[in-house]
């Protein structure tokens, strides 16, 4: 997905994992891997924003349970907002 600038990009990543963990541990893993992905995508100078959607089927089938949005500021990505399914993460 692009921005107003023809050479800039927004990455929409849909990720899933099936490692059996408690909801709190799954949330920690979601945060860690989303942050790592956003950090690594700063190597591509044209990536200006990253949104990561997560599915964790053993916690909830066929539905996103978390979303994290990162925006570039200089040479780093910063978490702008995040959402977690309130039925799973209290």
Q: What is the pLDDT of residues 29-62, one digit of tens each?
A: 999 999 999 999 999 999 999 999 999 999 999 9
Domain ranges (residues) in the chain: 9-84
What length is written for the chain? 90
- Residue 1, Cβ density class (10 Å: 0-12 exposed, 13-18 middle, ≥19 buried): exposed
Mean pLDDT of 11-30: 93
In the chain, the N- to C-terminal Cα span, in Å, equals: 32
Are 15 and 33 within 8 A, CB to CB? yes
């Amino acid at each position: 997905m692009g921005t107003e600038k023809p050479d800039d990009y927004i990455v929409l990543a849909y990720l899933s994992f099936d490692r059996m963990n408690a909801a709190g541990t799954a949330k920690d893993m979601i945060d860690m891997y989303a942050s790592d992905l956003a950090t690594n995508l700063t190597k591509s100078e044209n990536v200006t924003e990253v949104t990561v959607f997560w599915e964790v089927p053993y916690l909830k089938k066929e539905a996103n349970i978390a979303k994290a949005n990162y925006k570039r500021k200089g040479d780093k990505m910063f978490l702008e907002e995040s959402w977690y399914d309130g039925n799973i993460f209290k």
